[in-house]
Amino acid sequence: MHIHIGSPTTVICSKCGQAVLAYTMCQNCGYYKEREMVNVLAKLDKKEKKKREREMQAKEKSEGGKPDGDKPLTMEELSKK
């Protein structure tokens, strides 16, 4: 027989970066397809809530943003590049 069970398909959550089963909500941040489905932070106690908020903020800072902080680039700076 050639019937076998494959491994489950996992994807990376776009919000927090955790591995999640495909087509399911992220248990870490409560997002599914860039939309918040469940407010996970509301269900946590105070200590866990602060820890999770710090993790999410660190992830957002490390992901992107403009170089040199959030300052918009001027025309001169754009022409130099």
The 3-class SS string of 32-44 reads ECCEECCCHHHHC
Mean pLDDT of 54-73: 69
Residue 3 lies in a domain: no
Q: Looking at the predicted structure, is the pLDDT value of residue 38 above 80?
A: yes
Mean per-residue pLDDT of the chain: 80
pLDDT value at position 58?
Answer: 84
Tell me the C-alpha distance between 23 and 70, whole Å: 33
Q: What is the mean pLDDT of residues 33-59?
A: 82
| Domains contained in the chain, number | 1
Average pLDDT over every residue of 49-59: 82
Q: Is residue 51 part of a domain?
A: yes
* Host domain of residue 41: 10-80
What is the mean pLDDT of the segment spanning 11-29?
88
Q: Is a pLDDT exceeding 70 seen at residue 69?
A: no
Residue 26 in domain: yes
pLDDT score for 65: 52
